[in-house]
Amino acid sequence: MTMNTHYPVSYQFADADGVRVFYREAGDPANPTLLLVHGFATSSMQFRELIPLLADKFHLIAPDLPGFGFTEIPEKRHYHYSFDALAQTLVGFVDTLKLSRYALYIFDYGAPAGLRLALHYPERVTGLISQNGNAYQEGLGDAWEPVRAYWENPSAENRQQVSDAMLNLEGIRWQYLHGVKTPERVAPETWTLDTLLLERPGNKEIQLDLTLDYANNLTRYPDFQDFFRQAQVPTLVIWGEHDPFFIPPGAQAWKRDNPNAVVEFLDTGHFALETHVEHIAKRIRQVIGGEA
């Protein structure tokens, strides 16, 4: 595997959908593009180690979704935080960058946002990597129970319970370390930076709005599954099997709609890139890049 010294990462902004989208980019634009869509509670930072491992083979672009990372939302934009809105910003982003063909890496929140982008431009998608990016009802684990209570009754009390469980240093640290056999591989700046950015004025309310709206993603699962059946693009479903949020049946279900999908489980938790980045990079090169 080529080392990263010859493939520096650049950090840029693009104006799209009335939003100043921060993104990371590396690799030759003449190579196949890989669009990396992060999840909660992180940002494009989650791809910081993966990008250099693939930059000789792919043109990599990793944006920060609105409400996350360093993407900036002007107050006059009056942004309404929903997964439809995140997807619309992704549509504007790929249009601004003139990305006409790309494989999608989707994780966590990046799955419903990125798959809406795929539905908008199905002809542009050349491949899919789902790393704990759910698209099936059976993939939702028991860790969703407090959130389900919030969906069923979005009272102030239930909203506060979700906030207390998820939107603080301990809750985010737990997401990084739960089910991880080698916690010493997980850098503490991950959950620390995520928490710091959550503390920006108004951001916790944004996250609670998105958590509530996540229920609408479940109604879109049949649309996503229909896309898998119709597109039949090369697909790698690579899953931290101890993830309490997105459990193994959600990974196995991908083969119902694309029998050629490669499904693989890793002995780790939700943030599998923190412990298995070299292996995931190798499998992307093989399944999506066509390497032996």
Q: List residues with catalytic annotation.
A: 270
E strand spans, 94-182: 102-106, 125-130
CA distance 201 to 192: 17
Residue 185 DSSP label = G
Tokens of 112: 């419903």
CA distances from 68 to 110, 167, 248, 287 (A): 11, 13, 27, 29
Cβ atoms of 47 and 36 closer than 8 Å: yes
Q: Find out whether 24 and 9 touch, Cβ atoms under 8 Å.
A: yes
C-alpha span between 96 and 271 (Å, rounded): 29
Q: For residue 41, is the peptide bond before it cis, meaning its omega torsion is within 30 degrees of 0?
A: yes
